[in-house]
Amino acid sequence: MLQQMSRAGAAWRSRRPASAAVWMVRLSWRQFRTQALVAYAALAVIAVILAITGPHLVHLYDATVAPCKTYGDCGIATTQFLANDHLLQAGLNSALLVLPALVGIFWGAPLVARELEAGTFRLAWTQSVTRTRWLAVKLGVVGLSGMVVTGLFSLMVTWWSSPFDRVNVARLSPAMFGERGLAPVGYAAFAFALGVIAGVVIRRTLPAMAATLAAFLGARLVMTYWVRPNLLTPLHITSALQTATGNAPPSLAGTNPADWVLSSQTINAAGQVIGQNGGIGPNGDVGFNVASNGTLTFLGVGRCPNRVQTAQTGAGAGSRVRGQHAAQAATQECIEKLHIRDVLTYQPASRYWAFQWYETAIFLGLALLLAGLCFWWIRRRLT
């Protein structure tokens, strides 16, 4: 009899952890279900709107932009196409940009800080729930929900915006990269973990929310402008400086318009930087003077070995036009003789998905590190 009771007691104790885990999951869901239901309801409404407007955009693109090269009016066609659903475009892009931060601020920061403020965490720890399991269930239920919401929203926006992205091809640029693809999921995971650790350490909800926002914005800026450009070794194109292509950086002709241009520097024959953005000087202007005798001088470089034939005073319009063309040709000849070059540093558009995977992996890794720090802090420092 005593042996049977002992075996029954042992069986009951073996079931206690599982029962406690189920109880903890149910409790976490009850605490979080209102926020989750609001988020998924909003996703459902947005999905309906995008399902209605998306096919229409695809039809417009196929009817106007796709055949525009045949009729030679791509400028007008693309401008008119991009004007469609302008407010919806701006709203979706802005929403996807801020959604990961909202997950961290409103789901991550209060998750533990709110319980520490109210003291309710002690109730859970007295119900045969260890600190590790208590935190693991909370992180799993709420954190995964935040990632799922962000991932679904990013998927919908990426699909709906695909006709616009075929026109605005610079998906790798800082302005668009974080508004498409996989990266927002990594941002959401990182922001959530950042919010949780802020709440665990600070133990106050509002200060933790403010700290989460500041730290997340700082991390995004560092990634965008210091880390991402160097995730893969940038490529370089060196070409002669061009003066007859208007204000655009001339060497862009050697790259894809979808490439992410990191810098455009003008160098002299000795390899010294003498200009930026396809020109000579810090503001990108070509910067040259033509004397009355036709002597051509580049500012900051020196006198050209050749001369330019200036237009005569009182000459007709045709003569002045020929004089302008002659001046451009002489200027380009001088650039070749002085060996003035433009060096373009860029990341090719073909690396877009590689950057998406790398950046997502980095932020997921940071989220795991922060989650590990949360477990350590809860077990070692929280009393």
The reported pLDDT for the residue numbered 12 is: 38
The reported pLDDT for the residue numbered 70 is: 74
Q: d(Cα 24, Cα 167) in Å, to the nearest integer?
A: 50
Domain limits, the chain: 20-232+355-380, 242-311+319-339
Residue type, 328: Q
Q: d(Cα 232, Cα 228) in Å, to the nearest integer?
A: 8
Dihedrals phi, psi of 192, to nearest 5 degrees: -65, -50
Q: d(Cα 238, Cα 254) in Å, to the nearest integer?
A: 9
Q: d(Cα 263, Cα 255) in Å, to the nearest integer?
A: 13
Dihedrals phi, psi of 295, to nearest 5 degrees: -70, 130
The reported pLDDT for the residue numbered 294 is: 72
Q: d(Cα 217, Cα 205) in Å, to the nearest integer?
A: 19
Q: d(Cα 256, Cα 303) in Å, to the nearest integer?
A: 34
Report pLDDT digits (tens) over 24-82: 667 677 778 888 899 999 999 999 999 999 999 999 998 888 888 777 678 888 888 88
The reported pLDDT for the residue numbered 357 is: 97
Q: d(Cα 372, Cα 132) in Å, to the nearest integer?
A: 10
The reported pLDDT for the residue numbered 51 is: 95
Q: d(Cα 331, Cα 27) in Å, to the nearest integer?
A: 76
pTM of the model: 0.82
The reported pLDDT for the residue numbered 14 is: 46
The residues, ordered by sequence, that sit 6+ positions from 161 with a Cβ below 8 Å of its Cβ are: 89, 92, 93, 180
Tokens in use for 105?
Answer: 């601020």
Angle (CA) 140-142-146 rounded to 5° is 110
The residues, ordered by sequence, that sit 6+ positions from 200 with a Cβ below 8 Å of its Cβ are: 112, 113, 116, 374, 377, 378, 382
Mean pLDDT per 10-residue section of the chain, whose length is 383 residues = 43 49 68 88 96 93 84 79 89 95 96 82 63 86 94 96 88 90 97 96 94 97 95 90 51 67 85 77 62 72 74 52 70 80 90 96 98 90 64
